[in-house]
Amino acid sequence: MPDYPARPGGPLVWAHGGSVPQQRALAAILARMAQTRPELTLLLSGPEPTAPAPLLHTELPPESIPATQHFATHWAPDLVLWAGQALRPALLDAVSRGSANLVLVAAEDLPWTSDAMRWVPDTETGVLALFDRIFTTDAAAARRLRRMGLYSSSITTSGPLTETAPPLDCAQALHEEMAGVLAGRPVWLASRVRPGEVETVLRAHRRASRLAHRLLLILVPADRADAEVTWREAQASGLRLCAWENGDMPDENTQVLVAEGPDDLGLWYRLAPLAFMGGSLVSGFGGHDPFEAAALGAATLYGPNVGRHLAAYSALAEAGAARIVKDADTLSAAVSHLIAPDRAAGMAHAGWDIVTAGAAMTDMVIKHAFALLDEKGKG
């Protein structure tokens, strides 16, 4: 049997994501639950082998009765949040026989799969009936479940499961001051840029500036460790710079405002209607979370290397809230086309719809989870 770490005392919530995006989205939900109720032990499982603090991580047991019973007895979860179309009949049955309430999130209008033997009839329906509540991504998924014989009273259409985090904050007074300084100027942001992308971003800005002479670029490296190389490349570009960390303020002649790190991104996303997400033109980083920009009203540009957040970028691109670029030429063309306020606003609105739908789903799941724990006297 697996040698699991010791179970802490008190109520335990276990969440399992069937895919990496689902696991990360559930991790964000658990993190929000931890902020409200720090007494909870929060356990996460899924394809990724680790969990961010303060969450614990566990591997799923083999789909055998002894292994699943050992898992259920050891962890004894009070609440289970399960995401994905792949079901584990023996495991879910074992935890449901304890004191756990089971909640299924992000059920889609797709076939269900399970590891049960093919000759077992209606396995999926029987396993789905173990869940006290099923949250579906849309009405079509809810209809599929009802056709399978599940009760409508246990089904709630909540929207998609997305990796949402609280919007980055900024000082209101500073935002008002900078909005006044930049009034009337077209502004775009290059966020969390890696050293291998700085030259490309600066070349794209130079080209876009030929069509919009007052265009301002806010250049933000991914890490303060990259600040020096970012500043050197910006100086080498010959563009007129403003060093934000030195206390400089941009004037009418400033072409690039250079920050030393991502500390003030909450401010920059609010000021720039268009944001290029760094770590996406070069390989090895997998991009950064695009909902960070979309949550604050910025339309999104990104490169092809966004494997860590592919589902999020795909959702935004499908909704018309994000556009892919490949090099300085395509980046400058996108900036020139989208810097017009009405075009960027249309993309930003579509992104906001995606973010708010995901946030609504998260709120519904957390509210229901807390209600179940409170009924048990475990909240």
- 123 plus 212 within the same structural domain: no
Domains of the chain: total: 2
Q: Which residue, 192, 166, 206, 181, is CA-closest to 262? A: 192
Mean pLDDT, the chain, rounded, equals: 93
Per-residue b or e along 255-288, where b marks 16 or more CB atoms closer than 10 Å to that residue's CB: bbbbbbbbebbbbbbbbbbbbbbbbbbeeebebb
Gap between the Cα atoms of 314 and 46, Å rounded: 21
For residues 153 and 187, state if they share a domain: no
Q: Please check whether residues 127 and 198 belong to one and the same domain.
A: no
CATH number at 122 reads 3.40.50.11720
For residue 224, give the DSSP letter: G
The better pLDDT of the pair 102, 84 is held by: 102
Comparing 167 with 320, which gets the higher pLDDT?
320
Single-letter amino acid, residue 174: L
Q: Is the pLDDT of residue 2 over 80?
A: no
Mean pLDDT, residues 65-86: 96
Over 70: is that where the pLDDT of 21 sits? yes
Average pLDDT over residues 362-366: 92
Query: 244: Cβ–Cβ under 8 A, 6 or more apart, which residues?
Result: 257, 258, 259, 260, 264
Residue 119: per-residue pLDDT:
39
Asked if residue 190 and residue 153 are part of one domain, the reply reads: no
When pLDDT is cut at 50, 70 and 90, the band that residue 70 belongs to is: very high
Residue 83 lies in a domain: yes
Residues 138 and 89 in one domain: yes
Whether residues 234 and 345 share a domain: the answer is yes
Q: How many CA atoms lie within 13 A of 186 on its CB side?
A: 21
121, pLDDT greater than 70: no
Domain identity same for 138 and 231: no
Residues 138 and 205 in one domain: no
Tokens of 330: 């395509």
Residue 118 binned pLDDT confidence (cut-offs 50, 70, 90):
very low
Reduce the DSSP state of residue 118 to 3 states and report it. coil
pLDDT given at position 127: 93
**Of 135, 161, 187, which marks where a domain is finished?**
161
The answer to whether residue 269 sits within a structural domain is: yes
| 68: containing domain | 12-161
Is 290 among the domain residues? yes
Q: What's the count of helices (H) and strands (E) in the chain, helices before strands?
A: 13, 16
Q: Which pLDDT score, from 0 to 100, does residue 122 have?
A: 62
pLDDT of 120 over the 70 cut: no
Closest C-alpha to 271, from 170, 184, 187, 334:
187
Within this chain, do residues 349 and 323 fall inside the same structural domain, yes or no?
yes
266/305 same-domain check: yes
133 plus 193 within the same structural domain: no
pLDDT tens digit sequence for 171-215: 999 999 999 999 989 999 999 999 999 999 999 999 999 999 899
